């Protein structure tokens, strides 16, 4: 940082020269064990703490920039409170939920989301002041939003109590929002749900949250997708899963069966003779499809065992039983 603002690298640049002086002062605090200890103690105690008189003076307020530089060196901020309320402030995020059918989640869609949330006040356009008036600069802090507090050899800043750290005072608040600049009202948000969204996945809509303050950006809207179960299909990532029942003879002799798909275009699946119950069969390219990849359809075969037989069926099964080898009995050599 010192090299960046060194006078030799910025000849004739008064701003860089002043910045270099601030950095040098900051390094002086860092390199002096006593000053560093005092600085850490001030950060810990805040404006309510204090030190005895005497010694030099170190200003950690925002006026000379030393507090910001020390904050960068120490991984924190040198100032306490500061003028954080004056500058642009980002608006808050909004959380919402959206229930989707299994097919809509797989294919994607554009839908509307109805919310009741904070939005910019339509009466005062976000200023918080009654129409025809405007916020005035706080005379107590001069519009900075912070006031100095002397703590022994240090000068710290804390939020101005008169303006609550905003730097401005609203003498005539808006009757609609009562000076807040925001109001709760219903609004409709159009949401594009991408294909392949999964249950519990969150969609971020940048800038669709609550409005910012003092020219700050709006927050974001996070939509959590709740996907309802499907009666035929389930999924693991982009892989679509389903189960199909086949008869005993289809499994033993082999067969060609029809398998449903999520796009309602049935496909055929060839079962080899001796297909086992619980076996899994892959149909390429019939899973969940996104703009990046397409999954497969996995078909699990369940061999259906009849629970009720006619006399003719029972006789046929008994005849078959006589000629089939019992898998639990070893064949005699």
CA distance 220 to 111: 18
Per-residue model confidence (pLDDT) at position 153: 59
Lowest-confidence pick of 61-65, 201-205, 282-286: 61-65
Domain boundary among 207, 229, 251: 229
Alpha carbons 150 and 163: distance in angstroms, whole number = 20
215 vs 124: CA distance, rounded Å: 14
- Give the model's pLDDT for residue 302: 97
One domain for residues 191 and 300: no
Q: 103 and 210 share a domain?
A: yes
Closest C-alpha to 73, from 120, 35, 47, 111 = 35
The pLDDT assigned to 215 comes to: 77
Same domain membership, residue 299 and residue 277: yes
- Quick check: is 133 in a domain? no
| Among candidate residues 74, 100, 117, the one where a domain is terminated | 74
Q: Using 50, 70 and 90 to split pLDDT, how confident is the model at 27?
A: low
Q: Which of 273, 270, 278, 267 lies closest to 245, judged by CA? A: 278
Residues 18 and 64 in one domain: yes
The answer to the question of residue 27 being in a domain is yes
Whether residues 188 and 59 fall in one domain: no
For residues 204 and 294, membership in a common domain is answered with no
The number of domains in the chain is 3
In a domain, 146, yes or no: no
Please, are residues 174 and 187 in contact by the beta-carbon 8 Å criterion? no
The strand ranges marked E within the chain are 58-59, 94-100, 109-120, 136-137, 146-151, 154-159, 168-169, 182-193, 202-205, 221-227, 234-236, 239-246, 255-259, 267-271, 280-283, 297-303
3-state secondary structure of 274: coil
Both 57 and 189 in a single domain?
A: no
**What confidence score (pLDDT) does residue 34 get?**
60
What is residue 22's three-state secondary structure? helix
What's the average model confidence in pLDDT over 214-242? 94
For residue 333, is it within any domain? no
Dump pLDDT digits (tens) for 242-252: 999 999 999 99
Q: Tell me what pLDDT residue 40 has.
A: 56
Residues 325-332, mean pLDDT to the nearest whole number: 74
In this predicted model, which residue has the larger pLDDT, 319 or 65? 319
Inside any domain, residue 19: yes
Residue 299 parent element (H or E): strand 297-303
Q: What is the mean pLDDT of the chain?
A: 82
The mean pLDDT of 7-33, rounded to a whole number, is 67
pLDDT of amino acid 147? 86
Whether 101 maps to a domain, the answer reads yes
165, 200, 229 - which closes a domain: 229
In the prediction, which pLDDT does 83 show? 40
Q: What average pLDDT does this structure show over 208-223?
A: 89
242 contacts 232 by C-beta, under 8 angstroms: yes
CA 19, 21, 25 angle in degrees (round to 5)?
115
Contact at 8 Å (CB) between 166 and 140? no
Cα 224 from Cα 98, distance rounded (Å): 6
Which of 39-43, 261-265, 326-330: highest mean pLDDT?
A: 261-265
CA 267 to chain centre: 39
Q: Is residue 45 part of a domain?
A: yes
> Is residue 98 predicted with pLDDT exceeding 70?
yes
Is 87 in contact with 217 (CB distance < 8 Å)?
A: no
> Is the domain of 106 the same as that of 212?
yes
φ, ψ of residue 292 to 5 degrees: the values are: -110, -35
Give pLDDT, residue 301: 98
As to burial, measured by CB atoms within 10 angstroms (0-12 exposed, 13-18 middle, 19+ buried), residue 273 is exposed
Average pLDDT (118-143) is: 91
Residue with more model confidence, 141 or 49: 141
56 and 119 assigned to the same domain: no
Residues 94 and 225 reside in one and the same domain: yes
Residues 70 and 95 in one domain: no
Read off the pLDDT of residues 302-316 as tens digits, 9 standing for 90 and up: 999 988 999 999 999
Q: Which domain holds residue 30?
A: 7-74
Q: Two tokens at 140?
A: 């107590």
1 located within any domain: no
Identify the CATH number of the domain in which residue 103 sits: 2.60.260.20
Whether residue 69 is found in the same domain as residue 188: no
């Amino acid at each position: 940082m010192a090299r960046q603002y060194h006078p030799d690298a910025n000849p004739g640049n008064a701003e860089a020269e002043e910045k270099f002086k601030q950095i040098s002062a900051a390094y002086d605090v860092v390199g002096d064990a006593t000053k560093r200890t005092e600085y850490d103690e001030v950060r810990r105690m805040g404006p309510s703490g204090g030190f005895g008189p005497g010694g030099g003076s170190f200003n950690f307020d925002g006026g000379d920039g030393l507090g910001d530089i020390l904050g960068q060196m120490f991984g924190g901020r040198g100032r306490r409170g500061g003028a954080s309320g004056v500058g642009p402030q980002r608006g808050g995020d909004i959380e919402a939920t959206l229930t989707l059918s299994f097919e809509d989640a797989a294919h994607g869609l554009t839908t509307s989301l109805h919310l009741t949330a904070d939005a910019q006040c339509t009466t005062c356009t976000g200023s918080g002041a009654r129409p025809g008036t405007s916020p005035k600069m706080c005379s107590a802090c001069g519009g900075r939003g912070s006031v100095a507090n002397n703590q022994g050899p240090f000068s710290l800043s804390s939020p101005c109590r008169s303006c609550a750290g905003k730097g401005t005072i609203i003498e005539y608040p808006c009757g609609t929002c009562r000076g807040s600049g925001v109001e709760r009202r219903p609004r409709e948000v159009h949401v594009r749900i991408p294909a392949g969204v999964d249950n519990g996945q969150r969609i971020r809509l940048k800038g669709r949250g609550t409005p910012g303050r003092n020219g700050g950006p709006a927050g974001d809207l996070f939509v959590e997708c709740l996907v309802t179960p499907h009666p035929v299909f389930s999924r693991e990532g982009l892989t679509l899963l389903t189960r199909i029942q086949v008869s005993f003879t289809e499994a033993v002799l082999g067969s060609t069966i029809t398998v449903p798909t999520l796009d309602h275009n049935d496909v055929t699946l060839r079962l080899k003779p001796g297909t086992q119950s619980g076996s899994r069969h892959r149909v390429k390219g019939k899973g969940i499809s996104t703009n990046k990849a397409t999954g497969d359809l996995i078909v699990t075969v369940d061999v259906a065992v009849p629970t009720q037989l006619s006399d003719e069926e029972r006789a046929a099964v008994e005849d078959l039983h006589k000629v089939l080898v019992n898998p639990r009995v070893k064949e005699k050599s």
